[in-house]
Amino acid sequence: MHAHTSTADSGKPLAGRTALVTGASRGIGRGIAERLARDGARVAVHYGRNEAAAKEVVAAIEAAGGSAFAIGVELGLPGDAEALWEQFDRHADGLDILVNNAGIGTAPPLEEITEEEYDRVFAVNVKAPFFLVRQGLGRLRDGGRVINVSSGLARTAVMPDKVAYAMTKGALDVFTRDLSKTLGPRGITVNSVAPGIIETDNTAGWLHGTPDGWDTAASISALGRVGTPADVADVVAFLASDAGRWVTGSWVDATGGSLT
């Protein structure tokens, strides 16, 4: 390495930036938080209920030489956005990267879902990200990034039993599209990243608990394997970096070719 290497060249493209990842105590959110921290961002690790898991993520980030702090607010309840930003403000004075990852990962089929369950999945997956952005506009710096974690199910009816969940991701994608025009004049990019089947504790029951679960899941991808949180986190990291500056209002397929 040369003596005059810039920060970006040293593998820390997000040095000096602050990121907030919702639902970052496990799964894809944890993968994203750890990756952004590795790229030099200071990361707010948001969790809903599992404080111990969030603190474990913070400890892992710090052990790897990164910087992070945990904030706990259950989303989908009245006042959730205000409460989250109030906690955030105690640790940081502004935000560069917002990753709306927290979500309820499934919903009962049409014949079984109750109104309460429907309202809950929309409250967490759609309303919470909307008002986090709404309340966060003054905190989000010009040139920043908003990345919404969508789903391949927003573009395919391969799992029609998850209709309400898929509907929330369709709504989130419209939010991405329109918000990109609203925030464009400030140089803020807004994109959706859509994972396919990823190995997390959310999918473990199906992948490992059913006879053909893993093979079936792997066969859905054109690449013949089940995705990992890192597969998604690397796409998010690209969009969060300066390299992603010209991509906005976009829906990025990170399903490993599951829609082809």
Is 169 annotated as catalytic?
A: yes
- 25, 47, 150, 221: which one is catalytic? 150
- State the DSSP H helix or E strand holding residue 174, giving kind and residue range, or none if neither: helix 163-183
Is 151 annotated as catalytic?
A: yes
Q: How far is CA 258 from the centre of its chain?
A: 19
d(CA 123, CA 129): 9
- 151, 192, 221, 258: which one is catalytic? 151
Q: How many CA atoms lie within 13 A of 175 on its CB side?
A: 24
Strand runs labelled E in 39-163: 42-47, 67-72, 95-100, 140-149
- 25, 47, 162, 169: which one is catalytic? 169
- 25, 47, 162, 165: which one is catalytic? 165
d(CA 230, CA 212): 24
Length in residues, the chain = 260
Is 165 annotated as catalytic?
A: yes
d(CA 54, CA 50): 7
Which residues are marked as active site?
150-151, 165, 169
